[in-house]
Amino acid sequence: MLTPLLILSGVGLVMAGLLAVGRKAFAVDVDERQEKIAEILPGANCGGCGFPGCSGFAAALVEGKADPASCPPGGPELAVEIGAILGVEVEAKEPMVALVACAGGDGESPSRAGYLGVSDCAAAHAVAGGPKSCPYGCLGLGSCIEACAFDAIVPTSNGLVMVDPEACTGCGKCVEACPRGIIRMVPKKRKVHVLCVNPDKAKAVKAACSVGCTGCKLCAKQTGAIAVDGALASVVSDSEEIPGSAALACPQGSIFDGGVYSLPDWLSGSEARADFSRRSAEWKKAEKERKAAEKKAKAEKAKEGEA
Amino acid sequence: MTNKLFVSSSPHAHGGASSARIMWTVTAALVPAAAWSVWLFGIPALQVILATVLFSAAFEAISQRLAGKPTSLTDGSAVLTGLILALTLPPGLPIWICAVGAFVAVVVAKAVFGGLGQNLFNPAMTGRVFLLIAFPGPLTRWLVPRGTGAQLFDQPVTAYDASGGIVELGSKAVDAITAATPLGLLSERGAHAVAALSQGQEIFIGQMNGSLGETSGLLLLLGGIFLLIRRIVSWHIPVSFIGSVAIFAAITYAVDPAHYAGPAFHVFTGGVMIGAWFMATDYVTSPMFPLGKIIFGVGCGVLTMVIRLWAGYPEGVSFAVLLMNATVPIIDRYTRPKKFGLRRLTKGGSDA
Amino acid sequence: MRDATFAGGIHPSYNKDRTSALGTSPLAAPERVYVPLSQHIGAPAKPCVEKGDEVAIGQMIGEPGGFVSAPIHSSVSGKVAGIEPRAGAMGIPVQCVVIENDGEDRRSEHDGAGDAWEETPADELKERIRMAGIVGMGGAAFPTHVKLSPPPDKPIDTLILNGAECEPYLTADHRTMLERATDVVAGARILARILGVARTVVAVESNKPDAIQALDGAGAEIRTLAVKYPQGAEKQIIDACLQRQVPSGGLPMDVGVVVQNVGTAVAVADAVIRGRPLTERIVTVTGDAVGSPANLLVRVGTPVGELLAACDADLDGAAKLVLGGPMMGFAQTTPEPPVTKGTSGVLLLTGKHVDTRPPAPCIRCGRCARACPMRLVPTEIGRAGLARDVEASRSADAMDCVECGSCAHDCPSRIPLVQQIRLAKAAVTEAARRERGTR
Amino acid sequence: MSLLIIVLMAMLTENFVLSKFLGICPFLGVSKRMGTAAGMAMAVLFVMLVASVITYVLQTYVLVPFQVTYLQTIAFILVIASTVQLTEMAVQKLSPSLYQALVIFHAVGAAGGFAIALLLFAGLREKLEGASVPRAFKGAAIAFITAGILSLAFMGFSGLAPSN
């Protein structure tokens, strides 16, 4: 019984010794900080940092070529951890998520032709400008879904796609994947969005889509955070809260108020739309009355002044 | 304008070729040889053909249903696989073994790879080789063809009862009668046993025993030429396959005629004809370009002969085709045609 | 001599019989023309008229936007109604000068024209061609004066006039060669004088014997080509005529050749001899949804719908509208786009020509590779394109593809190979742009 | 001649991977790309060489004299695993070109067989990557099925012997 034990442990020892010697002889210098960082990175290899994969990012961090806060999936917590390993101070970044800025589904912006070919947005866009009435709107073929490493983009029932802000890490891959540039990065905390990218004038927009922005500027009158460039409104500032009235003022229903509706309901639910029309009408009526009262008060004041 | 126009990428014209038509044409080209085998062996041959074709189709439909894909039996590929598999099997093979073969061919060799066009190995060949290794007994019991008696190629035939025991020829218990195939004779007893056969018409017309599709070289050749005329197969693989078998056999025969059989014998016995025209030419599992096709054909021919002459199995076509299937990605990688614009300038212009 | 040709290629159904014998008939100018400012490859023209301006036929309404650009001229006389976007042939709105036709067909005055072109310096001839807004009329619409300005280190020895017209259905070039053989030859002489070449070859497919006869009578050197698609592709026609292969990524001038379409030659003759800028062209209107097909002489800017109406076309019964030929033309969602200098055909097809079945799996039959005139492996590029794999696209030589459509035409699985390859090319172009940006 | 046959037999008839199902782990691990497959084939050559020398010494001078040959498997595993580790370190440090020089010994046949199988397999798997393999079979499953069919094909060489 003893002999086999001795032999085995002898063989084991000899090989262990050889290995130890080998490790010394063939030692390769790897910055251990790099290994540590690589361990805490998400490992999704999404490329959001701009380096080839997580290991590439780790190497770039150690060499001082990368900003610790540039890993979108990891967020600010990870940035702090990386900073601790590297021994540098890290400034927290505002968390961003992707937003598909189009609400013109099959019902709002129907297809103008039958499309036959590769099921890919870029491919469809290149064929006669795409089969959708709106030449700027979401084609819904899901090139962004393919590009997303986190399954954060899902198709809606009416031919659109939407981003789940909870699953989105803000890596920005979908922004590159969208051939029409509909997807943009927005602060995660922002509630109100203009869901249209069509820059055409009112007549063309109305012909293409029933929920497209016509550039009427009514929203901009409600808040300084929304500005109209040409014939398209967009949120230009995140420093102030956007009032719900900005959405209610829109005659097209192009502005989505996340404080009142959920995005899936808004995109594909006629109930949310109906509710919005009702609230919008009420608001407009109230606004009219308020204005009339104001005018009256002013007129009276002026009268008083005269008198 | 009331209706919507269709938009698609150019071109807006199509030549009308269809995968399904190709598959059915190949199937049609095999029908004469299949009919000949039924004439030769009777019901046992028909039973094998029907069983493998029906089981192949059924397995294809089931696996497509499971994969959530639309059923595409009309594209003919499952029926063709079943027919080719049937032609590589001996007549009278039990139906359940045919079913196993169809399963391996259609499900294991094709469906799990993603279906038509994605498989790496010829499905029918995979099915046959699997059966040969798993059921060597039933796969090597050969029925005596019509028109021959108790003697076939100067050898006595053996009679079996239903349980597989050897009984006297002519007794009531006879269930199957077998005799070695020409290649079996060559492998077991040497070249002198087939010397007479090599000169006879039997091997050309197909008056011999063997698998269903190993019999009529003539009808298979006609089927192959039909495919050649219809431009469904190119000459490269069949010619290089058959040619290399013939050259290999001619060389060994010239070196030692007492030991080796001649080229005609090797070309017209066993599976060379069906293999060269119908199996090695399977688009999915053969090279795409002319040079690669020739390399592939020569490889099939040489490996067939190496296995026939020096390995344990008397026949090597199916092994050879499977082995060469594995080389296709490498062959394709190194035999790509030279793209336009690389030819040397004859005159004028600069070399930039 | 055997008919010259190239390796690869296909034999589609040509369907030219319905229009090849029909003489060109002028289409009445519409009440309004929509003249796009970008009808050519390169920078769009800059409008030089304003709303309300009176214009005459041949009057410049858009100035060239750069060297690789071309001016635009009015195709009718009348009043500018505005400059606004309108659906273009690519499905994307393009800026158009809208002109109300007054029906008077006044022509603007031109100087410098005349028969004395033989004594005019080459540079001046070239300038006249440039200012006449002449672009390649085979479909690509590349500004002609650019092709006529090779750098000094690329000596040109041969001019090929392309009269192959290998696209099925189209007969515009065929009619041009028949009806204007003298101008084809005159245009060729002018082009040859500008390039300083000794040899000019007119290349015509052998299925147009009447055109060959007409040109022969006008005194041209003719090279008869085999009937095969894409015989008229620039690189293939050079290979067939001269056995010279344009190197990968190169231009015809790299092998000492300039290729011009026969229609372009006629436009050159019109510009130089008669002082007429390019404002109209021959368009073949055909397809099985067109009742009376025709070869029409059409003012640039005429909406396609007007052509279809004139040819008794059944738009309601049609399934596909294509501008150009069936192999390389562009499908349209509406008949709104205007005819441009590059519009060689209008094709209206019934549902018979539209296959709505999804493509079948690739069976590796190799027909695409056999058909490819550039000797590429289309499936390989297509796969790389679908995966947006830049490396694989490059190693499969995606950028060598000329998008002739031969592969997809012969594919038994009806795989949209050209579309897949375009994705690969787009990925490579994008990657190259990015690489340049970082450098 | 007989030497050539030994090499051929080891390569084809007794193919390590496809006939004996040895070395499946590295076989599946690195055969995704032709480039890495070639590197692996080299490494296998080296490891087999070193390991066979050490195990030979172990067998003749330790296990047999002490009559503990039943420990063969476990002892060999120890040795081979360590050798693999050593090689890995060496590869990390040195260039793979070093042990190209070591390719002389008689393990050539077996390793050559491994190399053939590996290269064929790598080509097949590159092609597989483009295939739309059903989700359930993606990855190792389809690789095993492919290896299985390849080994079926290699069975054709069984009984390969110079003319009998």
- Using alpha carbons only, what angle is made at residue B139 by residues B133 and B140, rounded to the nearest 5 degrees? 110
Q: Which residues of C touch A113 (CB under 8 A)?
A: 331, 333
- B127 and B147 housed in the same domain: no
- B207 and B299 housed in the same domain: yes
- B93 and B29 housed in the same domain: yes
Give the neighbours of chain C: at least 3 Cβ pairs within 8 Å.
A, B
More confident residue, B219 or D90: B219
B1 and C316 in contact by Cβ < 8 A? yes
Band of pLDDT at residue D2, cut at 50, 70 and 90: very low
- B241 and B300 housed in the same domain: yes
Break chain D into its structural domains and give their ranges.
2-156
Mean pLDDT computed over A78-101:
83
* pLDDT score recorded for residue A5: 67
* Range of lowest pLDDT (C184-188, C418-422, D154-158): D154-158
Percent of chain B's residues with pLDDT above 70: 81
* pLDDT score recorded for residue D99: 41
Q: Which of B260, B178, B189 is nearest to B211 (CA)?
A: B178
* pLDDT tops 50 at residue D21: no
Which residues fall within 8 angstroms of residue A69, CB to CB, at 6 or more apart?
Answer: A76, A79, A90, A91, A92, A93
How many separate domains does chain B show?
3
Characterise B349 by phi-psi region: left (phi > 0), alpha (psi -120 to 50), beta (else).
left
* pLDDT score recorded for residue C270: 92
Is B134 part of a structural domain of the chain?
yes
ipTM: 0.79
* Range of lowest pLDDT (B1-10, B266-275, C353-362): B1-10
Q: Closest partner residue to D89 among A7, A16, A23, by Cβ?
A: A23
- Beta-strand runs (E) in A222-275: 226-229, 232-235, 255-257
* pLDDT tops 50 at residue D113: yes
Give the separation between CA C424 and CA C380, rounded to whole angstroms. Answer: 10
B120 contacts chain D (CB < 8 A): yes
* pLDDT tops 60 at residue B90: yes
D146 and B319 in contact by Cβ < 8 A? no
DSSP string, A6-27: HHHHHHHHHHHHHHHHHHHHT-
B8 touches C331 (CB < 8 A):
yes
Band of pLDDT at residue C218, cut at 50, 70 and 90: confident
More confident residue, B314 or B145: B314
* pLDDT tops 50 at residue B346: no
pLDDT in tens, D53-110: 777 777 777 777 776 666 666 666 666 666 666 666 665 555 444 444 333 335 555 6
- B157 and B192 housed in the same domain: no
pLDDT in tens, C37-54: 999 889 999 999 999 999
pLDDT in tens, A169-218: 888 889 988 999 999 999 988 889 999 999 988 988 999 999 999 999 99
* pLDDT tops 90 at residue B176: no
- B200 and B241 housed in the same domain: yes
B311 and D149 in contact by Cβ < 8 A? no
B329 and D126 in contact by Cβ < 8 A? yes
- B198 and B321 housed in the same domain: yes
* pLDDT score recorded for residue D142: 82
Q: Which residues of A touch C416 (CB under 8 A)?
A: 116-118
* pLDDT score recorded for residue A10: 77
* pLDDT score recorded for residue D5: 53
Mean pLDDT computed over A275-303:
90
Q: Which domain holds residue B171?
A: 143-179
Q: Which residues of A touch D85 (CB under 8 A)?
A: 19, 22
Give the neighbours of chain D: at least 3 Cβ pairs within 8 Å.
A, B
- B116 and B223 housed in the same domain: no
Is B244 part of a structural domain of the chain?
yes
Q: Return the percent helix, strand and coil in chain C, to nearest 5.
A: 30, 20, 45
Percent of chain A's residues with pLDDT above 70: 95
Size of interface A-B (CB pairs under 8 A): 26
Band of pLDDT at residue B42, cut at 50, 70 and 90: confident
- Beta-strand runs (E) in B13-143: none
When scoring A106, A116, A125, A132 by the number of chain B Cβ atoms within 10 A, the one with the most, hence best to mutate, is A116
Give the separation between CA C331 and CA C320, rounded to whole angstroms. Answer: 7
Band of pLDDT at residue A90, cut at 50, 70 and 90: confident
Cα B199–chain centre separation? 24
- B306 and B191 housed in the same domain: yes
Pick the most confident of A188-202, B273-287, B335-349: B273-287
When scoring D78, D87, D91, D95 by the number of chain A Cβ atoms within 10 A, the one with the most, hence best to mutate, is D78
Q: Which of C373, C369, A8 is nearest to C382 (CA)?
A: C369
* Range of lowest pLDDT (B93-97, C109-113, C274-278): C109-113
* pLDDT tops 80 at residue A83: yes
* pLDDT score recorded for residue B11: 94
State the average pLDDT for chain D: 64
- B221 and B132 housed in the same domain: no
B175 touches B144 (CB < 8 A):
no
* pLDDT score recorded for residue D81: 64
C10 contacts chain B (CB < 8 A): yes
Mean pLDDT computed over B186-191:
72
D123 and B259 in contact by Cβ < 8 A? no
C13 contacts chain B (CB < 8 A): yes
* pLDDT tops 60 at residue B329: yes
Instruction: Find residue B167's DSSP bridge partners.
Output: B159
Q: Which residues of B touch C159 (CB under 8 A)?
A: none
Beta-sheet pairing, B151-152 with C345-349: unpaired
C332 and B5 in contact by Cβ < 8 A? yes
pLDDT in tens, D23-61: 555 555 555 556 556 666 666 666 666 767 777 777 777
Which residues fall within 8 angstroms of residue A257, CB to CB, at 6 or more apart?
Answer: A191, A192, A244, A247, A248
Residues of chain D numbered 24-63 and touching chain B (CB < 8 Å):
34
Percent of chain C's residues with pLDDT above 70: 98
Closest chain B C-alpha to D139 CA, distance in angstroms: 11
A128 and B7 in contact by Cβ < 8 A? yes
Give the neighbours of chain A: at least 3 Cβ pairs within 8 Å.
B, C, D
Give the separation between CA C99 and CA A210, rounded to whole angstroms. Answer: 31
Is B341 part of a structural domain of the chain?
no
Structural domains of chain A in order of their starting residue, each with its CATH number: 31-93 (1.10.15), 96-283 (no CATH)
Give the separation between CA B230 and CA B155, rounded to whole angstroms. Answer: 42
* pLDDT score recorded for residue B270: 83
Is B351 part of a structural domain of the chain?
no
Mean pLDDT computed over B169-192:
66
Structural domains of chain C in order of their starting residue, each with its CATH number: 129-274 (3.40.50.11540), 367-438 (no CATH)
Band of pLDDT at residue B18, cut at 50, 70 and 90: very high
Which residue in B has a C-alpha nearest to residue A115's C-alpha? Answer: B7
DSSP string, C318-338: -SEEEES-TTT-EEESSS-SB
Give the separation between CA D63 and CA A11, rounded to whole angstroms. Answer: 11
Q: Closest partner residue to C331 among A118, A128, A204, by Cβ?
A: A128
* pLDDT tops 80 at residue D112: no
- The kind and range of the H/E element at C284 are strand C280-286
When scoring B338, B340, B343 by the number of chain C Cβ atoms within 10 A, the one with the most, hence best to mutate, is B340
* pLDDT score recorded for residue A115: 93
pLDDT in tens, A248-274: 999 999 999 988 899 988 988 788 899
* pLDDT tops 80 at residue A24: no
Task: For residue B348, give the DSSP letter.
Answer: S
* pLDDT score recorded for residue C31: 95
D134 contacts chain B (CB < 8 A): yes
Mean pLDDT computed over C258-287:
94
Q: Closest partner residue to D74 among A3, A8, A26, by Cβ?
A: A8
Give the neighbours of chain B: at least 3 Cβ pairs within 8 Å.
A, C, D
C248-262: b (≥16 Cβ within 10 Å) or e: eebbbbbbbbbbbbb
Report helix angle D34-58 to D108-129, nearest 10: 150
* pLDDT score recorded for residue B352: 34
pLDDT in tens, C7-24: 999 999 999 999 999 999
* pLDDT tops 80 at residue D13: no
A213 touches A196 (CB < 8 A):
yes
State the average pLDDT for chain B: 85
D159 and B316 in contact by Cβ < 8 A? no
* pLDDT tops 90 at residue C169: yes
Pick the most confident of B261-270, B335-344, C264-273: C264-273
Which residue in C has a C-alpha nearest to residue B119's C-alpha? Answer: C363
Q: Which of A134, A278, A157 is nearest to A206 (CA)?
A: A134
Which residue in B has a C-alpha nearest to residue C155's C-alpha? Answer: B349
Whole-angstrom CA distances from D131 to B184, B279, C386 are 39, 21, 13
* pLDDT tops 50 at residue B29: yes
Is B5 part of a structural domain of the chain?
no
Is B338 part of a structural domain of the chain?
no
Three-state DSSP at C200 gives strand
At which residue do the structure tokens 């009348």 appear? C78
* pLDDT tops 60 at residue B292: yes
Mean pLDDT computed over B155-161:
62
Tokens describing residue A281: 């009408």
* pLDDT tops 80 at residue B185: no
Tokens describing residue B158: 């053996």
- B222 and B247 housed in the same domain: yes
